[in-house]
């Protein structure tokens, strides 16, 4: 059985990552009790009462621990990941994996030098609906893909957020933080390792504190298709989910829509797919489809066959997110 | 009773315009039998058997006719409209009203000199759902508007299309032709008379003949909000409507979605609105809501109070569409 440690309990995403790994058959050998937000630590202990608190140093020294899962403050993730890799551990990290280009370069070096796995748990990998949509696109049912449009609203949840959530240096900016999912998704559907930036905009529409990046829109181009991605922190309080995330694909012979989180005023649950092809329309509830990311990660930790290396795409995704962030035009009404 | 003539029976849109005016209480005094597409003329005669064929010259000379409705080949519409205005008629024209900046300038001069009405039957004006969405936005339920996203797929319907449909000079390009609706809609929600172009892209994804503009995407900025509009000719054959048109609004306190044409694999009919506000979500079937455009036009023809002049917004809309068309970056996979 593969043993791992949970380190950097600063973001609640650590709960899903840990739960996914446990469900896939790994054992959590311990959690690092250092945190910037005691509420996150308390939530972890409530969810995983059998996982002992162990100091970070002891966890990183323990040769029985094969990898760590990491949800520290984003700006600290790269240094922690590099430290873990240099001490022989693979790494699964919450997004964003890095907040600067320098951190990304250091991660790439560390991966090259140590041969360790560095995997970001991106939304594409953990979404049943996106996995099914990728299969539909690859099947040819939609013809050649022309365009992707992604809408990714998020709930601000101000009461739950620690100070670092509002500090751009800490999270790396809205595109680096939540746009990285959308950029990864576009490159996957475009089957491309990179894209050109047709436009990138970051908006500040008045969410406190002043200068908080509450909106962004990115237009990317692969050699074969276009993609436009909207990100924002404006999920209304009355929506019964953290965001009404959508994906729209246009192909030369079919179209596809995902309602990832919910079907507003419609069907129960999330992961709804709607396809129109040459013959008909169809709806599929994808919520029961398997998410193989955690199992694939564990297989890769065990047999080192490179599923998680993905031809280096994860580095391209981070690099592109950092570029979109850096090159964005600012919009303030 | 207001009498009008149907002139330029080249596009099937003449049917809806004529039907809307008849339903609003006008009388169709005659139709001009000149056409580039005998199928369109035959369809008109089948739908409106009581409307006599009269030569264009006689219709324009008839002092009992107050206005004309016009769906000629787009590049010919401006000259016909100007001719009609100079002969004392108001004009309701199918979109696009013009295909070049020179035509637009000539129309503006003719309107100024003759005092006639020149109104384009834009989608915003004839869509119950858009009219309701404008009311919701103006009510403040969504807070301050942040962003608009519009998806406007259209069915190519190759078998029905005359040659001029595939000739860019004849229709003025995809943004001028079908993007004018989306641009008008953005300016209405932004309550702005103009916008800056953040990005404009026109794609040729292989629809024959070579060079046919089958895709476009426009990103606009008003002083207060952003807007992104996608247009394409890729409605799949299996969709039971000419296009799954959508509108998404993000506000600081609420969001809104329109499914204009249909609710794919869902409810019957079109004009569906979904709102999430601070308290709850709600669905509204807007299909029964009144469309006042035709009645407003007739009132304006009668009492000259300027409803259709709209502060000159129609000229701004056409000018912006022509600029987006001219400045677009070309994308060919």
How many angstroms separate the CA of residue A146 from the nearest CA in chain B?
A: 7
Structural domain contains residue A307? no
Contacts of A117 (CB under 8 A, 6+ apart): A67, A90, A91, A111, A297, A300, A301, A308, A309
- Can you give the C-alpha Rg of chain B in angstroms? 20
Whether residues B78 and B210 fall in one domain: no
Structural domain contains residue B302? no
The yes-or-no verdict on residue A109 having pLDDT over 80 is: yes
Model-wide pTM > 0.80: yes
Pairing of strands B67-71, B3-9: parallel
- Chain B residue at shortest CA distance from A233: B252
Of A81, A51, A16, nearest in space to A291 by CA: A16
CB contact under 8 A, A265 and B254: no
How many angstroms separate the CA of residue A28 from the nearest CA in chain B?
A: 40
Contacts of B42 (CB under 8 A, 6+ apart): none
| Predicted confidence band of residue A96 (pLDDT cuts 50, 70, 90) | very high
How many angstroms separate the CA of residue B121 from the nearest CA in chain A?
A: 28
| Predicted confidence band of residue B306 (pLDDT cuts 50, 70, 90) | confident
Candidates A217, A250, A276; nearest CB to B238: A276
What are the pLDDT digits (tens) for B206-215?
Answer: 999 999 999 9
Number of domains composing chain B: 2
Whether residues B172 and B188 fall in one domain: yes
The yes-or-no verdict on residue B311 having pLDDT over 90 is: no
Q: What is the CATH number of the domain that holds A221?
A: 3.30.360.10
Among A120, A135, A168, give the residue marking a domain's end. Answer: A120
A-facing residues of B in 256-275 (CB < 8 A) are 257, 264-266, 274
CB contact under 8 A, B278 and A151: no
What are the pLDDT digits (tens) for B46-76?
Answer: 999 999 999 999 999 999 999 999 999 999 9
A-facing residues of B in 215-254 (CB < 8 A) are 215, 217, 219, 221, 223-226, 228, 230, 232, 234-240, 244, 248, 250-254
What are the pLDDT digits (tens) for B85-142?
Answer: 999 999 999 999 999 999 999 999 999 999 999 999 999 999 999 999 999 999 999 9
Whether residues B89 and B142 fall in one domain: no
Whether residues B113 and B132 fall in one domain: no
Whether A124 and A220 have beta carbons less than 8 Å apart is answered as no
> Residue A130 has what pLDDT?
98
Structural domain contains residue B318? no
> Beta partners for A217?
A201, A230
Of B134, B163, B116, nearest in space to B301 by CA: B116
A-facing residues of B in 157-216 (CB < 8 A) are 198-199, 201, 203, 205-207, 214-215
A-facing residues of B in 59-118 (CB < 8 A) are none
User: B248: which chain A residues are within 8 Å (Cβ-Cβ)?
Assistant: 151
User: A198: which chain B residues are within 8 Å (Cβ-Cβ)?
Assistant: 199, 201, 329
Written as six digits, the tokens of A235 are 């999920």
Taking phi over 0 as left and psi of -120 to 50 as alpha, with beta for the rest, A15 belongs to alpha
How many angstroms separate the CA of residue A139 from the nearest CA in chain B?
A: 16
What are the pLDDT digits (tens) for A38-55?
Answer: 999 999 999 999 999 999
CB contact under 8 A, A236 and B254: yes
Residue in this structure with the two tokens 């630590």, named with its chain if needed = A41
Structural domain contains residue A308? no
Among A95, A120, A145, give the residue marking a domain's end. Answer: A120
Q: Is B276 on the interface with A (CB under 8 A)?
A: yes
CB contact under 8 A, B236 and A254: yes
Candidates B219, B255, B281; nearest CB to A265: B281
Structural domain contains residue A260? yes
CB contact under 8 A, A276 and B333: no
* Average pLDDT estimate for A142-160: 97
Q: Is A332 on the interface with B (CB under 8 A)?
A: no
Whether residues B132 and B115 fall in one domain: no
Q: How far apart are CA B229 and CA A114, in angstroms?
A: 46
Structural domain contains residue B298? no
How many angstroms separate the CA of residue A101 from the nearest CA in chain B?
A: 26
* Average pLDDT estimate for B218-222: 97
What percent of chain A shows pLDDT beyond 90? Answer: 96
* Average pLDDT estimate for A252-259: 98
Whether residues A32 and A61 fall in one domain: yes
CB contact under 8 A, A279 and B237: yes
| Predicted confidence band of residue A208 (pLDDT cuts 50, 70, 90) | very high
What are the pLDDT digits (tens) for A287-320?
Answer: 999 899 999 999 999 998 877 767 688 999 999 9
Written as six digits, the tokens of B242 are 């000419």
Among A89, A120, A151, give the residue marking a domain's end. Answer: A120
Structural domain contains residue B312? no
SS3 B35: coil
Q: What is the CATH number of the domain that holds B33?
A: 3.40.50.720
Size of interface A-B (CB pairs under 8 A): 162
Contacts of A3 (CB under 8 A, 6+ apart): A26, A27, A28, A29, A64, A65, A66
User: A329: which chain B residues are within 8 Å (Cβ-Cβ)?
Assistant: 198
Of B276, B228, B143, nearest in space to A216 by CA: B228
Whether residues B111 and B209 fall in one domain: no
- Mutate which: B148, B255, B274, B329, vs A, most A CBs within 10 A: B255
User: A202: which chain B residues are within 8 Å (Cβ-Cβ)?
Assistant: none
CB contact under 8 A, A333 and B224: yes
CB contact under 8 A, B280 and A221: no
Q: Is A141 on the interface with B (CB under 8 A)?
A: no
How many angstroms separate the CA of residue B294 from the nearest CA in chain A?
A: 33
Cβ atoms within 10 A of the Cβ of B294, count?
A: 22
User: A206: which chain B residues are within 8 Å (Cβ-Cβ)?
Assistant: 144, 252
* Average pLDDT estimate for A96-113: 97
Whether residues A171 and A105 fall in one domain: no
Range of the domain at B132: 124-291+324-331
User: B255: which chain A residues are within 8 Å (Cβ-Cβ)?
Assistant: 153, 234-236, 239, 244
* Average pLDDT estimate for A3-14: 97
What percent of chain B shows pLDDT beyond 90? Answer: 96
> Residue B312 has what pLDDT?
81
Candidates A147, A255, A331; nearest CB to B226: A331
* Average pLDDT estimate for A46-70: 98
User: B237: which chain A residues are within 8 Å (Cβ-Cβ)?
Assistant: 253, 278-279
B-facing residues of A in 15-54 (CB < 8 A) are none
The yes-or-no verdict on residue B2 having pLDDT over 80 is: yes
Q: How far apart are CA A271 and CA A246, in angstroms?
A: 10
Q: Report ipTM for this prediction.
A: 0.96
Q: How far apart are CA B227 and CA B249, in angstroms?
A: 9
Whether residues A7 and A139 fall in one domain: no
> Residue A309 has what pLDDT?
66
Whether residues A162 and A283 fall in one domain: yes
Whether residues A227 and A259 fall in one domain: yes
Structural domain contains residue A279? yes
> Beta partners for A67?
A4, A90
Whether residues A90 and A130 fall in one domain: no
Q: How far apart are CA A314 and CA B333, in angstroms?
A: 24
CB contact under 8 A, B217 and A226: yes
> Residue A22 has what pLDDT?
98
Residue in this structure with the two tokens 């065990």, named with its chain if needed = A302
Quote the crossing angle between the two packed helices B101-114 and B313-327, to the nearest 10°: 170
């Amino acid at each position: 059985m593969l043993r791992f440690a949970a380190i950097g309990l600063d973001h609640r995403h650590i709960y899903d990552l840990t739960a996914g790994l446990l469900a896939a058959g790994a054992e959590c050998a311990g959690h690092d009790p250092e945190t910037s937000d005691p509420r996150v630590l308390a939530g972890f202990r409530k969810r995983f009462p059998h996982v002992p608190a162990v100091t970070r140093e002891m966890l990183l020294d323990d040769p029985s621990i094969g990898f760590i899962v990491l949800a520290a403050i984003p700006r600290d993730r790269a240094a922690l990941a590099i430290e873990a890799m240099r001490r022989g551990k693979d790494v699964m990290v919450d997004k964003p994996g890095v907040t600067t280009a320098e951190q990304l370069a250091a991660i790439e070096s560390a991966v090259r030098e140590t041969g360790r796995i560095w995997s970001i748990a991106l939304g594409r990998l953990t979404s049943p609906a996106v996995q099914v949509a990728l299969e539909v696109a690859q099947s040819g049912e939609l013809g050649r893909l022309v365009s992707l449009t992604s809408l990714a609203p998020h709930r601000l949840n101000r009461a739950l957020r620690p100070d670092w959530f509002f500090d751009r240096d800490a999270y790396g900016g809205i595109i680096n933080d939540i746009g990285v999912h959308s950029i990864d998704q576009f490159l996957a559907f475009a089957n491309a390792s990179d894209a050109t930036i047709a436009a990138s905009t970051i908006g500040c529409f008045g969410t406190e504190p002043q200068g908080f990046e509450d909106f962004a829109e990115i237009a990317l181009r692969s050699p074969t298709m276009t993609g436009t991605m909207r990100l924002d922190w404006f999920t209304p309080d009355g929506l019964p989910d953290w965001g009404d995330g959508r994906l729209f694909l246009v192909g030369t012979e079919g179209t596809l829509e995902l309602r990832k989180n919910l079907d507003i005023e419609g069907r129960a649950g999330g992961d709804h797919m709607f396809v129109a092809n040459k013959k008909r329309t169809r709806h599929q509830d994808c919520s029961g489809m398997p998410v193989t990311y955690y199992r694939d990660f564990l297989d890769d930790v065990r047999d080192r066959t490179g599923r998680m290396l993905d031809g280096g795409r994860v580095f391209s995704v981070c690099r592109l997110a950092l570029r979109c962030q850096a090159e964005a035009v600012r919009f303030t009404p």
